[in-house]
Amino acid sequence: MEASTTFVIVAFIYIAIIIFYGFYQGKKVKSNSDFSIAGRKLPGWVASLSERATGESSWALLGLPGAAYATGLLEIWTAVGCVLGVIIAWIFLAGKIRDEAEKYDVTTFTDYLAKRHGRMGRHIRTVSSLAIVFFFFFYVGAQFIGGAKTLENILGIEQFIGMLLIFILVVPYTIYGGFRSVTYTDVIQAILMVIAVVVTPIVGFIYLSNQPESTIYAPTIGKALEKAGHGYSSLTGGIKLEGTQLYSLLSSIFPNSLSLVTGLGAGIMVVSYFSWFFGYLGGQPQLTTRFMAIADKKQSINGRNIGIIWTILAYTGAILVGYIGIAIFGPNALSDHEKIMPTVIYTLFHPLIASFLIMGILAAIISTANSLLILSATELSDNIIIPWKQSKLHEVNSLKISRWITAFLAIVALILAYFSPTKIIYSIVSIVWAGIGGTYSVVILYTLFWKKFHARAALIAIIFGLSFTILWVVTGGEKVLPTRLLTFPLTALIGWIVTRISREN
């Protein structure tokens, strides 16, 4: 049986299971609260696995291995930043956010910020909901692109057809069952994802040790990185600074000190890769909503333990897959480095097992796409459309409105993915991570831990962070420094200044 035929059979079985289970959970949705946040009754293990599956998306199973394949050891800093961010979020934020959600009786991320900062709540609610929907159009689009790349790599189908197939898979049960269907199907997908990124490196090491050196690029990861060049084997040198806009900028500031330019450039690159850390500190609504939905404090502790273990395993495995790809094929074997994981899997495994593991990539894509869709839909419906409708009508079918909005947003995201100026998942997610994660992490942290932080400062910080990210990308600043490195500290500074110089009336 051909590999593509095997994959289609395995995919059909997997998709049937996911859709059936999603609709089964959807039958338990009786209210808009169930649709938006599962009635805030999630067990800790469900919340943690759903949060991890949602957080890691096609970025972690395609983008991260691809970046490791393309840059070498430098990409380790991304993994360190992400893992540390997840650990801190689960230890210090998850329980507090759960308690706050219960205290203020909220069902969405912006609903919490609006009620917590009541004086400016209406403005915070409107700005935040629209911003989340805007940025997440591109984030959902990145998942469609990731699914299309995977299907193109395996079946050779055109990318838009692949996007359409992912759309058809993700949208129906998401519309029907909302947050509840999404979180419970995420559990299956999180387990499959971690199996894929744990098993693949283990078999990869065995494969390298048993292959004649003439048939592979190098027998070990260490030798492969060394053979690929100094940039690959250095923790600071995976990207050549010479010729970049950052190098030109530093050279103009320090024209007589090449060593200083090189040192500063390397340091900035390390910090920029580590800066994924900022987005995990409460600022990603699709993750924070999982904290809000946990049933009680005991379940929050259970979720913390599972979430941290899963993250360490997943990131270690994803990075290793990229390095094993270098050892097998060499650093320049693929024109699209984000296809390295499916390529490695099909090299190492029998088509039947490979097809099962590839489902881990599709699981990451599906779990994130449906989570982002349901979050965007509930933000738009609960915070803008339904309140507006209720001002016009006495009775509104909130659940029906939420479902229609979910369908509409999915269609728009598919269209944007098709016309996206970049098909690089890593870049798309990085910008969203800055605009939403970098901005709202500041607001969440100040809100939870700084009593003097007030509503006016929160609103100004939100507007500044979102606006800065968009302007930085539009004006080409992203080519000099990634906005995810700048949005968080600058927004934190603005929030601090406004809090200090003004008082809430």
Output the pTM of the full model. 0.87
Share of the chain above pLDDT 90, in %: 42
The reply to whether 399 falls in a domain is no
Please determine, for residue 426, whether its predicted confidence score (pLDDT) is greater than 70.
Answer: no
How large is the average pLDDT for residues 365-374?
Answer: 78
The reply to whether 243 falls in a domain is yes
Residue 347's pLDDT is what? 94
Which has the closest alpha carbon to 85: 461, 427, 445, 338? 445
Please determine, for residue 356, whether its predicted confidence score (pLDDT) is greater than 60.
Answer: yes
Q: Look at residue 481 and give its three-state secondary structure.
A: coil
Tokens of 42: 């999630």
Burial of 204 (0-12, 13-18, 19+ CB in 10 A): buried
How large is the average pLDDT for residues 286-296?
Answer: 91
How large is the average pLDDT for residues 374-379?
Answer: 79
The reply to whether 435 falls in a domain is yes
pLDDT tens, 163-173? 888 888 777 77
Q: What H or E segment, with its residue span, contains residue 495?
A: helix 483-501
The pLDDT confidence band at residue 394, using thresholds 50, 70 and 90, is very low
d(CA 183, CA 205): 34
pLDDT, averaged across the chain:
85
d(CA 257, CA 269): 18
Which is more confident, 320 or 374?
A: 320
Which has the closest alpha carbon to 341: 154, 492, 166? 154
Residue 367's pLDDT is what? 73
Please determine, for residue 243, whether its predicted confidence score (pLDDT) is greater than 70.
Answer: no
Which is more confident, 275 or 384?
A: 275
Q: Average the pLDDT over each of 20-34, 380-394, 415-429 and give the range with the smallest value.
A: 380-394
The reply to whether 463 falls in a domain is yes
Which has the closest alpha carbon to 443: 429, 470, 463, 428? 463
Share of the chain above pLDDT 70, in %: 91
Domain of residue 225: give its range.
Answer: 3-385+414-501
How large is the average pLDDT for residues 396-401?
Answer: 66
Residue 484 sits in a domain whose CATH number is: 1.20.1730.10
Please determine, for residue 388, whether its predicted confidence score (pLDDT) is greater than 70.
Answer: no
Handedness of CA 214, 220, 224, 227 (dihedral sign): negative
How large is the average pLDDT for residues 400-416?
Answer: 81
d(CA 503, CA 377): 35
Number of domains forming the structure of the chain: 1
pLDDT tens, 88-125? 999 999 999 999 999 999 888 998 999 999 888 889 99
Which is more confident, 462 or 286?
A: 462
The reply to whether 398 falls in a domain is no
Which has the closest alpha carbon to 324: 195, 239, 225? 225
Tokens of 180: 């509840």
How large is the average pLDDT for residues 479-504?
Answer: 92
The reply to whether 397 falls in a domain is no
Out of 53-67, 227-241, 285-299, give the one with best mean pLDDT: 285-299
How large is the average pLDDT for residues 239-258?
Answer: 72
The reply to whether 148 falls in a domain is yes
The reply to whether 400 falls in a domain is no
| HSE value, Cβ hemisphere, 13 Å, CA-based, for 90 | 26
The pLDDT confidence band at residue 395, using thresholds 50, 70 and 90, is very low
How large is the average pLDDT for residues 74-94?
Answer: 94
The pLDDT confidence band at residue 315, using thresholds 50, 70 and 90, is very high
Residue 423's pLDDT is what? 55
Tokens of 303: 């979720």
pLDDT tens, 180-219? 888 888 888 889 889 999 999 999 999 999 999 889 999 9
